[in-house]
Structure 1
């Protein structure tokens, strides 16, 4: 991979007799960041992507109206300001007049309107569609003003708009049908070249309204083996790496030339059951599975204890003590009784799917769970799939059980409504809903009092654990490793790599 440098000559001395030049001091500044990660993007359409590997790439290219900072506060992106009406049924944005797409066109209110119309169109298959169903209409009084008219007050909609899945794309590209075939956003980097499962070449967007990008570009290498990534860091072949495997990440601090950034994240490791399939359609069977799993053992064995056992809510503001939730203390005898009550005293056979590399602990988690469920008679067959095959099966709900790593959010409604409301666009993935869950989500959506919202979602979390459509396991950490001359990267609890926009190499 080619390495680019800019050189600064501080002083030189002319030796008259020999007419030679002697450099007294030279400082070299690398202009291109060499980055490596183990999983490549599965597609370029920001509205459809659910894989973390896709999101990590596309959030460098596309921008939403607003974003979350490292403290989970909403800050400007394409929009420079926003305001709710007193009744909560209008949300008005003022766009940054300097915002431009990477094709040179200004980002206008027409692009915002077209983007959200595309997200709301069921035919698009947008991942976050359910977050925006309160949008009744969109007005564009001028090129830099967008007014969202809502059918009801929608407290979490602003948080939902911070997601890459709510990125603003050019209206012209929507009309041309080219979204997903090329990547044209307004973010800090442009995608110059993509060789799937091999490399990406990005260059700095000199016209980025968010400020000056700290490097001239990023050369990304896809190295499926994270031990190979660590070896490349050791030898100085790469500058920065995204690591997912705690087994590798915990080795980084032992390297004198490297530094590890370790940040608690909102995403969660989970065993997803499919309650539309027998015998997971029976509450007692799902509860038995929950009671039979030792979550701490899964965490300790698969991830070296790098994380903490969690309930459904992982955001600090709403988190509760998991020990207060149904069967979070392993109880094999109770699990066996529940199985017998459901008519499965002798157990049953099921298949669990897991993806290669996302997370890298998935197979190990499946193996620990396989061993634990064997104690109550459940024979679990493990099917490991390539990530793109796994994502396709997952989106179709084509599994008995699935080991998954799912994204988090700063707000419970934004995090879960696509799964646990009757209108949720990922209901096919969840395959479970009841009136209680749907009602709690709707109450939390319109309630403006923070204390009352906390009570609503505490009840939601308790009910979710009791009905056990999924078995929440643990939250872990986001890891990046970099050479010590890489400076300025700020991680976030969402796992975003957007902070690369401000990185410099000294």
Structure 2
């Protein structure tokens, strides 16, 4: 997947007494003192993608979960949220009142895990190569506003931006801006393979079978100097094909903790029937699911998209398909992010066949409107098929549409979506950082994530630049309200639901509630053991 695509696990047919068990999780799992964490993320090196763990290439949630542990960034968002703080840097600040020049000074004595010094030139190399490689599926969009990178001595880096951007410290806190050694990462080409070298809190050793990572051992990096407190010596990450296999491993005490991603059925079952020796933790989630449209395709013109927006029953989809793990969403910006408004509800209200019919009639559109709604059948889990069946039934049940649905493997799906082969399609989004900019600019700005032909000059040329000039992010709320209203009116995207996060861990493991950020990234350094 592309990092910015939300991954949900399989939902159908999972769990009976999957999570039964009791006692301390120390028994069996991993051996030794390693804390063993399960995930359904997939990491594969292939002919099509030979460099999945290169920060210039990997823009997937699973990839970022590896990079978070192994490479440092100049800044970091605190575990509990808030504004970025120095990490590899000892200080960072804008040096002008326009938020166009940002200076960082490195911590003294900073080295990579092999004891090679980390210098300002390494920082410049690491970030410039992201821009120069300009990978189609990579995170270059986060750094597109960088005009030039200047170094002063061995410890100072100055970023000159093309336009003001108060969110730039957040972007430097993402793995896209991870610092890597020149020896292993060429300036103009990706680093192939499944190894990562950096100066982060851990070193990593992958276990690979047929080009696919099945386990990663993260050992504490004794050379690490940064703002994070590492509370364990070793964490093993086991990669499972699905949530059912991960749940079975927890039951059999082969892992201590299951993270990304428990299925909605598993979470519901544990909420209703708590398991002795296993604790379920619910955490805020900022992931969203949405429909995208090729706005140049006449089949899904503006009136058709508005009619769809008037028909979709988000509450039914969230409740019946995802249960407690999702809630209806009426804006691209989740309800827990400052600046959120219920823009779609404000414009369309409750689902209404009559209003949708009137919209189509006034536009002179013959009904039923026929098109195919595409989704990926192997990337978000089996719940995706159920979700799109529900959407199909809602649209066709109105008598105004004749929609078919088609699933395809992600390897082909993403390329075809970006190429413009689909009139309508489903996608998901994990934010890079918890700011409304990251729910708007990636979809509406130049070189947008979806390669969408949609353009709102007001949003792109006026509102997004205006929002980025506000150092006080709450002061940008009125600007984001206008952006959300534009999206609700033009419907280039149609938000469906906002997710929640659940993590299950066996007794004896502490720090679970801090080990996953609101943006769904693992923070393994927070895990530690305590007495059961």
Q: Which of 418, 428, 442 matches 2:442? A: 418
- How much does 1:58 deviate? 2.7
Query: For residue 88 of structure 2, what is the aligned residue in structure 1?
Result: 78
Q: Which of 317, 337, 344 matches 1:316? A: 337
Query: For residue 232 of structure 1, what is the aligned residue in structure 2?
Result: 249
- Relative distance call for 1:137 and 1:389 in structure 2 (3 A) is same
Unaligned runs of at least 5 residues, structure 2: 1-25, 45-51
Query: For residue 504 of structure 1, what is the aligned residue in structure 2?
Result: 528
Mapping of 1:77-476 within 5 angstroms? 77-87=87-97, 88-121=99-132, 123-125=134-136, 127-175=138-186, 177=189, 179-181=191-193, 182-195=195-208, 196-197=211-212, 199-204=214-219, 205-210=221-226, 213-242=230-259, 243-253=261-271, 254-280=274-300, 282-310=301-329, 311-314=331-334, 315-322=336-343, 324-340=345-361, 341-358=363-380, 361-374=383-396, 375-408=398-431, 409-421=433-445, 423-426=446-449, 428=451, 430-438=452-460, 439-448=462-471, 450=473, 452-476=475-499
Q: Deviations over 1:352-393 (max 9, x none)?
A: 122424255322211111111112443333333344443444
Q: TM-score by structure 1 length? A: 0.86
The answer to which of 365-374 and 163-172 deviates more is 163-172
- How much does 1:197 deviate? 4.4
Q: Is contact 1:82–1:93 with CA below 8 Å preserved after alignment?
A: yes
The answer to which of 293-302 and 480-489 deviates more is 480-489
Query: For residue 11 of structure 1, what is the aligned residue in structure 2?
Result: none
Higher RCO, Cα 8 Å, sep 6+: 2
Distance in 2, matches of 1:198 and 1:451, equals 42
Q: Deviations over 1:423-478 (max 9, x none)?
A: 234251x3311212212112212234545411001110111111111110111112
- How much does 1:149 deviate? 1.8
Q: Deviations over 1:266-305 (max 9, x none)?
A: 221111222233312x110111111111011110111114
Q: Is contact 2:58–2:64 with CA below 8 Å preserved after alignment?
A: yes
Alignment size in residue pairs: 476
- Relative distance call for 1:378 and 1:186 in structure 2 (3 A) is farther
- Relative distance call for 1:208 and 1:358 in structure 2 (3 A) is farther
Distance in 2, matches of 1:388 and 1:33, equals 32
Distance in 2, matches of 1:100 and 1:394, equals 42
The answer to which of 469-478 and 397-406 deviates more is 397-406
Q: Is contact 2:150–2:158 with CA below 8 Å preserved after alignment?
A: yes
- Relative distance call for 1:367 and 1:103 in structure 2 (3 A) is farther
Distance in 1, matches of 2:43 and 2:78, equals 23
Unaligned runs of at least 5 residues, structure 1: 1-6, 8-27
Structure 1 vs Structure 2 CA RMSD: 2.6
- Relative distance call for 1:54 and 1:244 in structure 2 (3 A) is farther
- Relative distance call for 1:235 and 1:451 in structure 2 (3 A) is closer
Q: Deviations over 1:323-356 (max 9, x none)?
A: 6532252112222232342523122121312242
Q: Is contact 2:56–2:190 with CA below 8 Å preserved after alignment?
A: no
Q: Normalized per residue, which structure has more strand?
A: 1
Query: For residue 8 of structure 2, what is the aligned residue in structure 1?
Result: none
Q: Is contact 1:129–1:425 with CA below 8 Å preserved after alignment?
A: no
> Equivalent residue of 1:137, what SS?
strand
- How much does 1:482 deviate? 1.0
> Equivalent residue of 1:139, what SS?
strand
Query: For residue 36 of structure 1, what is the aligned residue in structure 2?
Result: 38
Q: Is contact 1:90–1:150 with CA below 8 Å preserved after alignment?
A: yes
- Relative distance call for 1:344 and 1:100 in structure 2 (3 A) is farther
Distance in 1, matches of 2:344 and 2:441, equals 24
The answer to which of 302-311 and 473-482 deviates more is 302-311
Q: TM-score by structure 2 length? A: 0.82
Distance in 1, matches of 2:59 and 2:347, equals 29
User: Larger Cα Rg: Structure 1 or Structure 2?
Assistant: 1
Distance in 2, matches of 1:235 and 1:170, equals 40
